[in-house]
């Protein structure tokens, strides 16, 4: 007794096999009187869903320092103005010695507070010595001093200029550098040098 045959399993064509079979079927010419074998329809293409794009996240804004805005000055505000420099004090003109001081000096009843002899010095040396002498005398509280200039003339050089200091010292006493120290001056008495010397009255401190 023979066993019954098992039915054969029918394998389905894959998508690629079905496509190839369809291509081959188009090339086959059917015999006369026979209809072409039906072609198995190709399976519809499987649509794969496209993933949605990720949402665009904007970058964080950069910090920008705000520009400083100049604030207008409030109305009525006074502007700061530096005061002008103070003018130099105006000194009174040179004045002669007081009458009683002059008389006492000429009579010899009063002596000068200090004296300096510039005779024989060069102009530059005499100028520096005069300034230092007057500054020290004023600092010491002296009122009247004697400056000997010399009358000029004589000397070893017959071509040398005569009486330079006699003319220069009065000019120096009128300059701004000495005006704060000097009140006035005049020619000394004969026993103090006469035309070759000067009485100088100093300004009080």
Which domains, ranges and CATH numbers included, belong to the chain? Answer: 99-154+161-202 (3.30.1370.110)
CA distance linking residue 145 with residue 110, whole number of Å: 12
For 50-79, what is the mean pLDDT?
A: 67
28: Cβ contacts below 8 Å, ≥ 6 apart: 36
Q: What is the pLDDT of residue 19?
A: 83
Helix (H, G, I), strand (E, B) or coil at 106: helix
SS3 of residue 196 by DSSP: helix
Six token digits for residue 77: 């505000």
Q: What's the mean pLDDT when you consider all of the chain? A: 79
Task: Please state, in angstroms and rounded to a whole number, the distance separating the CA atoms of residues 36 and 164.
Answer: 152
pLDDT at 172 over 60: yes
Residue 162 has pLDDT above 60, yes or no: no
Give the pLDDT mean for 182-193. 94
State the residue for tokens 């005069």: 130
Tell me what pLDDT residue 148 has.
96
pTM, rounded to two decimals: 0.54
Q: What's the pLDDT band for 85 if we cut at 50, 70, 90?
A: confident
Q: DSSP code of 197? A: E
Grouping H, G, I as helix, E, B as strand and the rest as coil, residue 101 is helix
Instruction: Burial-class residue 44 by CB neighbours within 10 Å (0-12, 13-18, 19+).
Output: exposed
Q: What is the pLDDT of residues 11-63, one digit of tens each?
A: 677 888 888 878 777 777 666 655 555 555 555 665 666 766 666 777 776 76
Q: HEC states along 23-47? A: HHHHHCCCCCCCCCCCCCCCCCCCC
pLDDT at position 197 is 95
Q: Is a pLDDT exceeding 60 seen at residue 155?
A: no
Beta strands in 41-195 (DSSP E): 114-117, 144-148, 182-187
Supply the DSSP symbol for 108. T
3-state secondary structure of 152: coil
Partners of residue 198 on adjacent β-strands: 147, 187
- Higher local confidence (pLDDT), 32 or 112: 112
């Amino acid at each position: 007794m023979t066993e019954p045959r098992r039915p054969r399993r029918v394998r389905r064509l894959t998508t690629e096999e079905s496509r190839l079979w369809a291509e081959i079927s188009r090339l086959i010419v059917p015999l006369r009187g026979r209809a072409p074998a039906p072609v198995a329809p190709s399976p519809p293409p499987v649509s794969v869903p496209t993933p949605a794009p990720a949402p665009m996240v904007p970058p964080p804004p950069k910090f920008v320092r705000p520009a400083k805005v100049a604030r207008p000055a409030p109305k009525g505000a006074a502007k700061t103005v530096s005061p002008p420099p103070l003018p130099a004090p105006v000194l009174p003109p040179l004045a002669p010695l007081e009458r009683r001081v002059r008389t006492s000096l000429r009579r010899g009843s009063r002596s000068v507070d200090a004296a300096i002899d510039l005779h024989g010095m060069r102009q530059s040396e005499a100028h520096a010595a005069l300034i230092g002498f007057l500054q020290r005398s004023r600092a010491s509280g002296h009122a009247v001093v004697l400056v000997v200039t010399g009358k000029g003339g004589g000397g070893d050089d017959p071509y040398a200029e005569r009486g330079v200091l006699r003319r220069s010292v009065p000019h120096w006493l009128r300059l701004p550098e000495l005006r704060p120290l000097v009140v006035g001056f005049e020619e000394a008495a004969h026993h103090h040098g006469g035309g070759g010397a000067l009485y100088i009255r100093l300004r009080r401190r």
